[in-house]
């Protein structure tokens, strides 16, 4: 069985990446492909617990170093339990946030050393990075934050914004710069799209790019 294909979605808050990851997963399934849709933090049972700690305000005093290591613990478990086994079964793994989020948020956002984060990322993933990373870029980070807060309100989670949604706009601008910097450094892995596009149009463009690079799979008559 050929190794599967690994796609990650990245972007600042409220860029619609979870919606786009879902739409892509549904479309690929319709085309007969085996898809595993997952996310970080929180793609495993352990990860679910870590997500509560990382994004909730119960441990408000979490140090930046502890935060970094908890993201790495989440990732190591996720690789071992979900990502590597799924790729070995020939599946397409679509992950909502992955290693680049740590470079952008903990590196550019929090100011931790990019080299250290990259070294830890290599260890936590055993060097298995995404084959394609879709970056949804939104110049107006404040508009994205408003979208994220509105989404919380609609879900009845008013006032429940997480640790990062509480950060000031300057933090989110640094995160955006971080994402753009990693994307520029690895143009072969990244596909960058404007998050300001309508949902359907964005989906169409992302799908087009994925079908260009996705190896043909069993049960897919179009060879996509």
Q: Does 71 bind ligand TMP (CB under 6 A)?
A: yes
Smallest distance, ligand TMP to C-beta of residue 90, A = 25
Q: Does 179 bind ligand TMP (CB under 6 A)?
A: no
HSE-up of residue 210 (Cα within 13 Å, Cβ side): 27
Q: Which helix or strand (DSSP H or E) is residue 95 part of? A: strand 92-96
C-alpha distance across the termini of the chain, in Å = 17
Binding mask 146-165 for ligand TMP (x = CB under 6 A): ------------------x-
Q: Do residues 88 and 137 touch, judged by C-beta distance below 8 A?
A: no
Q: List the one residue from 6, 83, 91, 96 that touches ligand TMP (CB under 6 A).
A: 96
Smallest distance, ligand TMP to C-beta of residue 7, A = 15
Q: Do residues 78 and 40 touch, judged by C-beta distance below 8 A?
A: yes
Q: Is the Cβ of residue 62 or residue 196 nearer to ligand TMP in the bound state? A: 62
Question: How many binding residues for ligand TMP (CB under 6 A)?
Answer: 12
Q: List the one residue from 105, 108, 179, 193 that touches ligand TMP (CB under 6 A).
A: 105
Distance of CA 72 to CAs 10, 15, 41, 117, Å? 17, 24, 9, 9
Give the residue carrying structure tokens 């990860």.
Answer: 47
Chain residues in the site for ligand TMP (CB under 6 A): 13, 40-41, 55, 71, 96-97, 101-102, 105-106, 164
């Amino acid at each position: 069985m050929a190794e599967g294909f690994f796609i990650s979605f990245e972007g600042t808050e409220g860029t619609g990446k979870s919606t786009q990851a879902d739409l892509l997963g549904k479309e690929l399934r319709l085309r007969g492909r085996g898809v595993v849709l997952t996310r970080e933090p929180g793609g495993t049972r352990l990860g679910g617990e870590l997500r509560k700690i990382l994004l909730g305000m119960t441990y408000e005093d979490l140090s930046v170093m502890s935060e970094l290591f908890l993201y790495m613990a989440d990732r190591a478990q996720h690789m071992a339990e979900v990502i590597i086994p799924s790729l070995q079964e020939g599946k397409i793994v679509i992950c909502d946030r992955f290693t680049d989020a740590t470079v952008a948020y903990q590196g550019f956002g929090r100011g931790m050393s990019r080299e250290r984060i990259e070294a830890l990322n290599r260890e936590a993933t055993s060097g298995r990075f995404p084959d394609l990373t879709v970056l949804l870029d939104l110049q107006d980070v404040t508009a994205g934050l408003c979208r994220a807060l509105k989404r919380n309100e609609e879900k009845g989670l008013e006032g429940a914004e997480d640790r990062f949604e509480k950060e000031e706009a300057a933090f989110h601008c640094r995160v955006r710069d971080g994402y753009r910097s990693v994307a520029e450094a690895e143009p072969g892995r990244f596909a960058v799209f404007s998050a300001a596009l309508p949902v359907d149009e964005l989906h169409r463009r992302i799908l087009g790019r994925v079908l260009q690079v996705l190896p043909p799979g069993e049960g897919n008559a179009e060879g996509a």
